[in-house]
Structure 1
């Protein structure tokens, strides 16, 4: 666990206690949580192929009475939005998790350019299972395990008879992993974040006071998130018919720009070390340590040879802490190539996503709610998440960008157990209760909902 932080113990909008924790815990079925996580996790859902997983979540929400809607930029890539509560004046809380999981493209011609054959055979790309008391599979870790936890949390609140004063939004989004439209890989099919939580916020009919991106954080939390950019650095040269070529003594003088790629990557290596060291960002809500590396190199056409190439392109991925701006990095990289004497070069950011963080004062009630829920569930205050979790993009960035105080938090990231599912579900349920508040009997009757009275498990028990 990372160190604690000053907002642990901040006042949540509503108090929760051991009585609520026991009632809600009794409504959480571990076997049901495991079955839901495995069923959802075993639906193949790479970026661009989220339809089946989204339909499953929609059907589950409909069956459980959460009035789901589909809102998507395309019919194949919907955001699924369910709701619960909203019977009074409590705060609104939005949970989000993403449907897509990192994976190869499953296009053999493309994957052969990036992966070893044995890497492609790893079953954890798309399969999930329970073994020796641990849950395996990338979809469980990222991100359908945390999604399962808030779905089960909402069901437990309902089953335990807790209607909510504020509204609880349950959302499952496509495209958080990526990809990004670059070069010939263009259009909606290659869009990631723009059609996921971004689209949901602008077109999904949601009005949250607070938001939680449910992701594995080893039970810590952070309200800091990094952005990223991809810079295309193009080296220009001259195509010379191979039989006419004379090799210069200095490879930097070669007309084929591919011969300058090594000098460029050496310069980028030095630049990245400096950038990564000077971009570390410390704040009350987390530590961001953005990193950078070369993502891809392209030049020439392997089937059309005979005169080298006039163009070689290097694609540099750069993490951005919440204070960094794209223009500053552009200027820095331009200085680097000038000082390196790389000849004719142009630099263009082909992807830009800035990082964000919540205002510490505005996010404090949400942090207080998670802290109270964590104390009741795990017996200790909530901790600040490890730096890796505040050094990447997660969809709390979308909401902090829109001035909605947001955090990312969730269960054990790697090899979670069934108990992690139920503990995280309880934390999420208690957090929702502490943010939204319990609807009063008068509010429930006014809105036409049944009053369960002393029966903690609702009218069906």
Structure 2
């Protein structure tokens, strides 16, 4: 019998017993059904309402006292809770996953980005289970891990394991995006500010620790990258087509629509160098600042007869916690000048990357590791650098000084056993943290 009390030392045997009770309280078919049902609700970035309503109704049915908190009515956060049996002696833990999944927008803009047939692939919106393996973007990112912590919390209650502190269960919109830029304006284009950040500041939550439940292949990280989207405008001349002369060197061409070709070659060399020079290694993970051209715009296809005076290259940079937006902008401006191009660099989106203090995150790491051992997964390693080289919503909590990590099951094509084990680890970790059994 488990005899551990809040704030006391807990033995490996007691943790194993708690993990076994949680596992016994998990209905495998219920977990499968939740992953598939929630995953098969279309939830494009900007249109998360139906999935949010489903999570709210599920929490309500399971007596997690949910509420909706949103900056705009159709893009709300869902917040449930349980525990809180002895709040003065416990710790509060918050789990979060995002409702939106990257996918085509299924409108005219798709032809700017996808080749014929790509937007019609079912895996964008479809969650499937075949031969014990899940597939589909909604499962992988991120309603599979969401289902795991929901079922893990239900198993905690079903197993009769009390929690001194409060366990918050949250589902947020807008983790992926989109972004409020250029002509893309309005509530459906609002980005991360309306998701976990709004939930943290307006949701009535008071976590001591937070977990972004996303696939990490059962590793852990408390480092997350921010990002900047830069628009690089190349300038040139609009020459009437009958008067145009073609120089041998592309960079001497009057039109920036042609100059952009040698500029991109120089930009790509810079991208590779930027990534190598700015790798950030810390106890909580390694972050690599990745760079990619996301879009190119120039000219007006319905007013031909000449070229254009402007060609814009849109570049996304993930930035490690120690990088600044100003330094990144100066590097791109220096590149323009050194390569002899006329133009300007303008940041259009910026979000800072953060990391938890290693000492403060250590207790959470120990809780996950001990829960993982008890669930048969072994010690919890630091996750692969890819999981700390991107934005995840633990960034929000680390920004507010709340130690936060990201942890989850296998990211791509997880098995049913993977998801059951993740639910056990989530539930056992919540029991340990909320009862202050691992400090």
TM-score when scaled to structure 1? 0.90
- Kindly provide the CA deviation profile for residues 228-276 of structure 1, in whole angstroms up to 9, marking residues without a partner as x: 1111000122222222333344432332211210121011111101101
Is the contact between residue 216 and residue 413 of structure 1 (CA under 8 Å) also seen in structure 2?
yes
Tell me how far 1:101 sits from its aligned partner. 0.5
Name structure 1 gaps, 5 residues minimum.
Answer: 1-11, 440-461
Q: Paired residue for 1:364? A: 362
- Kindly provide the CA deviation profile for residues 351-378 of structure 1, in whole angstroms up to 9, marking residues without a partner as x: 1112111100011111111111001002
Q: Given the alignment of the two structures, is residue 54 of structure 1 paired with residue 52 of structure 2, yes or no?
A: yes
Q: Paired residue for 2:106? A: 106
Counterpart-to-counterpart distance in 2, 1:359 and 1:251? 50
Q: Paired residue for 1:188? A: 187
Q: Paired residue for 1:139? A: 138
Is the contact between residue 91 and residue 436 of structure 2 (CA under 8 Å) also seen in structure 1?
no
Counterpart-to-counterpart distance in 2, 1:397 and 1:102? 19
Q: 1:113 to 1:416 in 2, by over 3 A?
A: same
Report matched runs for 1:388-403 at 5 Å.
388-403=386-401
Is the contact between residue 146 and residue 411 of structure 1 (CA under 8 Å) also seen in structure 2?
yes
Tell me how far 1:436 sits from its aligned partner. 0.3
RMSD: 1.5
How many positions carry a matched residue from both structures?
426
Q: Paired residue for 2:430? A: 432
Counterpart-to-counterpart distance in 2, 1:202 and 1:158? 28
- Kindly provide the CA deviation profile for residues 257-311 of structure 1, in whole angstroms up to 9, marking residues without a partner as x: 1121012101111110110101111111111112101111000111111121111
- Kindly provide the CA deviation profile for residues 136-170 of structure 1, in whole angstroms up to 9, marking residues without a partner as x: 11101110000000100110011111221100000
Tell me how far 1:188 sits from its aligned partner. 2.5
- Kindly provide the CA deviation profile for residues 393-443 of structure 1, in whole angstroms up to 9, marking residues without a partner as x: 11111111111000000001111111111110000000000000199xxxx
- Kindly provide the CA deviation profile for residues 117-139 of structure 1, in whole angstroms up to 9, marking residues without a partner as x: 23222111011111011011110
Moved more, 20-29 or 75-84: 20-29
Tell me how far 1:209 sits from its aligned partner. 0.3
2:25 corresponds to which of 19, 24, 27: 27
Q: 1:153 to 1:13 in 2, by over 3 A?
A: farther
Q: Paired residue for 1:447? A: none
Counterpart-to-counterpart distance in 2, 1:49 and 1:163? 36
Is the contact between residue 224 and residue 392 of structure 2 (CA under 8 Å) also seen in structure 1?
yes
Q: Paired residue for 1:224? A: 223
- Kindly provide the CA deviation profile for residues 9-48 of structure 1, in whole angstroms up to 9, marking residues without a partner as x: xxx9863522211211110110000000000000000101
Moved more, 232-241 or 202-211: 232-241
Q: Given the alignment of the two structures, is residue 407 of structure 1 paired with residue 408 of structure 2, yes or no?
A: no
2:109 partner SS? helix
Counterpart-to-counterpart distance in 1, 2:357 and 2:69? 29
Is the contact between residue 47 and residue 188 of structure 2 (CA under 8 Å) also seen in structure 1?
no
Is the contact between residue 14 and residue 435 of structure 1 (CA under 8 Å) also seen in structure 2?
no
Is the contact between residue 356 and residue 404 of structure 2 (CA under 8 Å) also seen in structure 1?
yes
Q: Given the alignment of the two structures, is residue 302 of structure 1 paired with residue 301 of structure 2, yes or no?
A: yes
Is the contact between residue 218 and residue 410 of structure 1 (CA under 8 Å) also seen in structure 2?
yes
Counterpart-to-counterpart distance in 2, 1:331 and 1:438? 47
Q: Given the alignment of the two structures, is residue 337 of structure 1 paired with residue 308 of structure 2, yes or no?
A: no
Counterpart-to-counterpart distance in 2, 1:430 and 1:250? 65
1:63 corresponds to which of 52, 61, 75: 61
- Kindly provide the CA deviation profile for residues 185-235 of structure 1, in whole angstroms up to 9, marking residues without a partner as x: 123321221111111111111110000000001111000111111110001
Q: Paired residue for 2:262? A: 263
Counterpart-to-counterpart distance in 2, 1:190 and 1:357? 27
Counterpart-to-counterpart distance in 1, 2:284 and 2:361? 10
Counterpart-to-counterpart distance in 1, 2:149 and 2:377? 20
Q: Paired residue for 1:244? A: 243
Q: 1:213 to 1:14 in 2, by over 3 A?
A: farther
Counterpart-to-counterpart distance in 1, 2:320 and 2:377? 33
Counterpart-to-counterpart distance in 2, 1:333 and 1:14? 53
TM-score when scaled to structure 2? 0.94
Name structure 2 gaps, 5 residues minimum.
Answer: 1-6
Counterpart-to-counterpart distance in 2, 1:379 and 1:33? 19
Q: 1:325 to 1:438 in 2, by over 3 A?
A: closer
Q: Paired residue for 2:3? A: none
Counterpart-to-counterpart distance in 2, 1:253 and 1:218? 50
